[in-house]
């Protein structure tokens, strides 16, 4: 009975409704994630632009919409701030320090990661264990590793590095490594490589294992040595992945706050833009100026990435 009474639904419409239902379900499923990400990341990021043009302090943070508009004052005061602008080799300012820190840190991370990946690409006993150990710096909490390194680099004679270097006769008096201009920045960069090389290593290792073995066999027949095989087979095969790692790591390093804040507190020539943003906002409680600094950071990063993608990545493609 029922079967005969049911109206035949046109084929096209049925297909459409099924598709429409599927799309509805998809939106329903992804809605919570989208709401949280938009509400707590995308919207605040846009709101930050608004804050950077207003005078927001501790007094009106709770009632931010009544904050007075002050045009480009925040930006002007950041650009004129002594901890921001470059004033010769003695005092680089946060912008230049940030660029030096993230570019050299990223390059060093990739070099160390490449060496580690080449080591682990060779079969040897206990390779699995060694690889697992190599990943530890990357997964250990930043607070613990930063404080361990501070304790190892302790300025007292009882610091491990001081003890070893004085024992070897390299230095006579104990050094305050993280409180010496220049040395501090170098050590923060080395720390960056120590902590983040596993990321580069894993990505390179995955690519290495996909390289066709016959390439090496052919090279061996032609009498290529180890270096030649690396230079003319391995490196070209890795070009894309190295470019991608550089981009990702550069972005994350440029945005990094915890590492430098915990290691040096941003002192002794290691004040990078994220730390400066923090200081404007939470030491001076000038949130407008902090927001402006963060915007400058973001714009610098965006420009750098755009240039990088345009120039470097396209060069790789055209080669």
Partner 1 sequence: MAGQTFSEAPPTARPSEKLNFFEHMARWMNWPRFITLLLILFFLTGILFPFYWMVSSSFKTYAEIGAREPVYIPSALRLDAYRELFDPASPSYWNFGRNIVNSLKVSIPTSLIAVVLSILGAYAVARLKFRGKNLLLNSILMVYLFPGVLLIIPLFAMISQVGARLGFEVQDNLPVLISTYLAQTLPVALYMLANYFRTIPSEIEQAGLIDGCSRLGVIWRITLPLSVPAIVSVIIYTFMIAWNEFLYAFIFLNSRTLFTMPIQINTIFNDPSPRPHVVMAASTIMTLPVVFLFLSLEKFLRQGLSAGGVKG
Neighbouring residues of 282: CB distance < 8 A, sequence distance ≥ 6: 290
Least Å distance, CB 173 to partner 1, is 14
Site map for partner 1, 248-287, x if CB under 8 A? x--xx-xxxxx---x-----------x--xx--xx----x
User: Which residue in the block uniquely carries the two structure tokens 């493609």?
Assistant: 317
Site for partner 1 (CB under 8 A): which residue of 180, 186, 216, 304? 216
Rounded Cα gap, residues 44 and 242, in angstroms? 32
Site for partner 1 (CB under 8 A): which residue of 103, 121, 180, 308? 121
Least Cα distance to 139 among 220, 68, 201, 195 occurs for: 195
Angle at 286 between CA 280 and CA 290, to 5 degrees: 50
Binders in 56-85 for partner 1, by CB under 8 A: 56, 61-65
Site for partner 1 (CB under 8 A): which residue of 103, 119, 165, 179? 119
Binders in 128-167 for partner 1, by CB under 8 A: 130, 132-145, 147-152, 154, 157-160, 163
236 binds partner 1 (CB under 8 A): no
User: Which residue in the block uniquely carries the two structure tokens 């501070």?
Assistant: 150
> What is the b/e burial string over 133-145, where b = at least 16 CB atoms within 10 angstroms of the residue's CB?
ebeeebeeeeeeb
Site for partner 1 (CB under 8 A): which residue of 13, 14, 17, 40? 40
Instruction: Report whether 237 contacts 310 (CB < 8 A).
Output: no
In DSSP terms, which residues pair with 286 in a beta bridge?
57
Rounded Cα gap, residues 319 and 315, in angstroms? 6
Site for partner 1 (CB under 8 A): which residue of 176, 229, 237, 313? 229
Rounded Cα gap, residues 272 and 276, in angstroms? 6
Least Å distance, CB 75 to partner 1, is 15
Site for partner 1 (CB under 8 A): which residue of 115, 165, 300, 313? 115
220 binds partner 1 (CB under 8 A): yes
Site for partner 1 (CB under 8 A): which residue of 13, 15, 22, 317? 22
Instruction: Report whether 85 contacts 91 (CB < 8 A).
Output: no
306 binds partner 1 (CB under 8 A): no
Site for partner 1 (CB under 8 A): which residue of 45, 58, 218, 316? 45
Rounded Cα gap, residues 238 and 260, in angstroms? 30
Site for partner 1 (CB under 8 A): which residue of 9, 30, 299, 311? 30
Least Å distance, CB 149 to partner 1, is 6
Kindly tell me which of 75 and 196 has the beta carbon lying closer to partner 1. 196
Assigned token pair, 312: 């470097």
Rg of the chain over Cα atoms, rounded to whole angstroms, equals 27
Site map for partner 1, 176-205, x if CB under 8 A? ------------------x-x-xx--xx--
Least Å distance, CB 313 to partner 1, is 17
């Amino acid at each position: 009975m029922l079967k005969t009474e049911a109206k035949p639904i046109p084929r096209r419409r049925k297909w459409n409704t099924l598709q429409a239902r599927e799309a509805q379900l998809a939106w329903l499923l992804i809605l919570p994630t989208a709401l949280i990400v938009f509400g707590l990341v995308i919207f605040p990021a846009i709101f930050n632009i608004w804050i950077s043009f207003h005078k927001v302090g501790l007094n009106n943070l709770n009632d931010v919409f009544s904050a007075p508009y002050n045009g480009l004052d925040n930006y002007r005061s950041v650009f004129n701030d002594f901890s921001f602008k470059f004033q010769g080799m003695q005092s680089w300012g946060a912008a230049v320090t940030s660029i030096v820190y993230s570019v050299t840190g990223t390059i060093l991370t990739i070099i160390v990661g490449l060496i580690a990946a080449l080591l682990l690409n060779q079969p040897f006993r206990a390779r699995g264990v060694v690889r697992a150990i190599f990943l530890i710096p990357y997964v250990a909490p930043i607070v613990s590793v930063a404080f361990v390194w501070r304790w190892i680099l302790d300025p007292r004679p009882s610091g491990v590095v001081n003890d070893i270097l004085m024992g070897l006769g390299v230095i006579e008096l104990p050094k305050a490594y993280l409180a010496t201009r220049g040395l501090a920045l170098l050590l923060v960069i080395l720390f960056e490589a120590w902590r983040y090389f596993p990321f580069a290593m894993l990505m390179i290792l995955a690519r290495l294992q996909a390289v066709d073995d016959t390439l090496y066999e052919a090279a061996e027949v032609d009498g290529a040595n180890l270096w030649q095989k690396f230079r003319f087979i391995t490196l070209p095969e890795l070009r894309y992945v190295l470019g991608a790692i550089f981009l990702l790591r550069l972005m994350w390093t440029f945005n990094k706050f915890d590492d430098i804040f915990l290691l040096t507190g941003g002192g002794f020539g290691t004040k990078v833009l994220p730390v400066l943003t923090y200081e404007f906002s939470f030491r001076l409680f000038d949130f407008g100026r902090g927001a402006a600094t963060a915007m400058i950071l973001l714009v610098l990063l965006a420009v750098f990435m755009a240039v990088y993608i345009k120039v470097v990545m396209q060069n790789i493609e055209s080669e």
